[in-house]
Structure 1
Amino acid sequence: MIEVKGVEKGFGETPVLKGINAVFEPSKTSLIIGQSGSGKTVFLKTMLGLHLPDKGTISFNGTTTESMSSDEKRQLKQDIGMVFQGSALFDSMTVEENVMFPLKMFTKQSKEVMLERVNFVLNRVNLVNSNQKFPAELSGGMQKRVAIARAIVTKPKYLFCDEPNSGLDPKTAIVIDKLIQEITDEYEITTVINTHDMNSVMEIGEKIIFLKDGLKEWEGSSDDIFKTDNEAVVDFVYSSNLFKNVRKVYLEK
């Protein structure tokens, strides 16, 4: 579980996060949404430790990051998997080498043991026999699956995804959403997804946090979004006629 209490973050004279409180639970896909400039990317990076909060605390399973020892911080890095926007694979490495990279960085396992784990996660994301391919030989959806395999190869307790469906067609995006949700449930991972994809919100939004101007404006599930009367959320989520019509049908039930 990840618990955020009163987190503030700014750059120079510009405040970005303004006292955010949130809890992210295991086995649940939690989505962070909001307009550009709402603070969602800074929020994600602050939880990852890429930014230090100016105020407030971030706890992983009850231990705040500021109170962790060097060994605990190193273990936390191993316990976190990350799926970057655009996949962020190493072009000069094969699929096998990309997925094995975190194991080489965080463990002292033998090559045989690492390869066994690599093959297991590649099988889990339906990429059998792709070990020796290079990223340039893969489709966007396949690259994203490699990124997910790399993120879970160290058996993380926490999974962070930054715009995982960026650049994907709608059909492939649904496949990636379902894969992330399945892995989250299967391995009881605490998953936090930063997204602007409203289809993801509707399909896998077990918990949704909506940020506006650095504040947590709203929190709920995909079902709750259909019923909310929060004007900021309604304007953001139902900016298209499609979702407006979906909401209208839902409320008329």
Structure 2
Amino acid sequence: MIEVENLRKSFGDTEVLKGISTTFEKGKTNLIIGQSGSGKTVFMKCLLGLLTPTAGNILYEGKAYSEMTREVRRDLRQEMGMVFQGSALFDSMTVEGNVMFPLDMFTKQSRAEMQERVDFVLHRVNLVDAHKKYPAEISGGMQKRVAIARAIVMNPKYLFCDEPNSGLDPKTAMLIDNLIQEITEEYNITTVINTHDMNSVMEIGEKIIFLKNGIKEWEGTKKEIFRTDNEAVTNFVYSSELFKKVRQMYLEGKN
């Protein structure tokens, strides 16, 4: 679990995060949504320890990041998996090499132990025959699955995903959403996802946080977002006619 207490972040005279408090629960897919410039990326970078908050606290399993020693922070970062927007795979490495990279860098496992773990996570993301292929030889959806495999190879407690469906067709995006949710539940990971994809919100939004101008404007579940009368949320989520119709059908079914 990650707890956020009155988080603030400024760059010079510009305050980007303005006192955000929330909780990201273990074993659930926690989504951060909002327009460009709302503070989503800065928020995630603070959660990852890449930016130092101006004020407030972030607690991991009840332990405040600001009070951790350098060694404890280093250990915490090794418990974090990250899926980048563009997958961020090494072009010169095979699929197998990309997934093995964190193990090679941060553990003292034998080659056989690392190979066993790599084989396991590639099987888990349904890439059993891609070990020797290079990123350029596989599809965007497969690249994203490799990125997920690399993110979970170290058995992380926390999984962060930045726009995991970026550049994917709707069908593949849904497969990636389902895979992330399955892995989150299966390994009881605290998963935090930055997304613009409203399909993701409706499919896997177990906890949704909506940011607007650096403020937590709303939070709730994918069911609660259908019922909210928060105008900022409805204007953002239901900007397309399709989602307006989906919401109307949901509300009519509840009456």
**Is TM more than 0.5 here?**
yes
What's 1:180 paired with?
180
**AA at the equivalent of 1:27:** G
Within a 5 Å distance, the mapping from 1:227-238 to structure 2 comes to 227-238=227-238
Query: Which string of whole-angstrom CA distances, capped at 9 and with x for unpartnered residues, describes residues 223-243 of structure 1?
Result: 001000000000000000001
Alpha-carbon separation, structure 2, partners of 1:105 and 1:56: 32
1:101 and 2:140 equivalent? no
* Cα shift at 1:77: 1.1
**AA at the equivalent of 1:116:** E
**AA at the equivalent of 2:238:** Y
What's 2:69 paired with?
69
* Cα shift at 1:70: 2.5
What's 1:47 paired with?
47
What's 2:155 paired with?
155
Alpha-carbon separation, structure 1, partners of 2:53 and 2:70: 18
Query: Which string of whole-angstrom CA distances, capped at 9 and with x for unpartnered residues, describes residues 5-26 of structure 1?
Result: 0110011111100000010011
**AA at the equivalent of 2:163:** E
Within a 5 Å distance, the mapping from 1:165-176 to structure 2 comes to 165-176=165-176
Alpha-carbon separation, structure 2, partners of 1:110 and 1:147: 22
Query: Which string of whole-angstrom CA distances, capped at 9 and with x for unpartnered residues, describes residues 34-90 of structure 1?
Result: 000000111001100111000001111011111112221121111000000010001
**AA at the equivalent of 1:124:** R
User: TM-score, normalising length from structure 2?
Assistant: 0.98
**AA at the equivalent of 1:14:** T
**AA at the equivalent of 2:247:** R
Alpha-carbon separation, structure 1, partners of 2:71 and 2:185: 28
**AA at the equivalent of 2:56:** G
Alpha-carbon separation, structure 2, partners of 1:252 and 1:169: 30
Alpha-carbon separation, structure 1, partners of 2:106 and 2:73: 12
1:128 is paired with a residue of what secondary structure?
coil
Query: Which string of whole-angstrom CA distances, capped at 9 and with x for unpartnered residues, describes residues 155-177 of structure 1?
Result: 00000000000000000000000
Alpha-carbon separation, structure 2, partners of 1:76 and 1:140: 30
What's 2:226 paired with?
226
Alpha-carbon separation, structure 2, partners of 1:77 and 1:132: 29
Alpha-carbon separation, structure 1, partners of 2:167 and 2:14: 31
Alpha-carbon separation, structure 2, partners of 1:123 and 1:25: 27
Alpha-carbon separation, structure 1, partners of 2:138 and 2:65: 37
Deviant stretches of 4+, over 3 Å: none
Alpha-carbon separation, structure 1, partners of 2:59 and 2:106: 22
Alpha-carbon separation, structure 2, partners of 1:50 and 1:209: 21
* Cα shift at 1:129: 2.1
Q: What RMSD over aligned residues (CA atoms) do the two structures have, in Å?
A: 0.6
Alpha-carbon separation, structure 2, partners of 1:12 and 1:68: 26
**AA at the equivalent of 1:64:** A
Unaligned 5+ runs, structure 1 = none
1:222 is paired with a residue of what secondary structure?
coil
1:138 and 2:148 equivalent? no
What's 1:211 paired with?
211
What's 1:122 paired with?
122
Mean CA deviation greater in 3-12 or 154-163: 3-12
* Cα shift at 1:200: 0.1
Unaligned 5+ runs, structure 2 = none
Alpha-carbon separation, structure 2, partners of 1:216 and 1:58: 15
Alpha-carbon separation, structure 1, partners of 2:68 and 2:114: 28
1:250 and 2:242 equivalent? no
1:20 and 2:32 equivalent? no
2:78 is paired with a residue of what secondary structure?
helix
**AA at the equivalent of 1:122:** L
Alpha-carbon separation, structure 2, partners of 1:124 and 1:68: 34
**AA at the equivalent of 1:103:** L
Query: Which string of whole-angstrom CA distances, capped at 9 and with x for unpartnered residues, describes residues 92-136 of structure 1?
Result: 111111001111121111111001000000000000021111000
Alpha-carbon separation, structure 2, partners of 1:113 and 1:34: 42
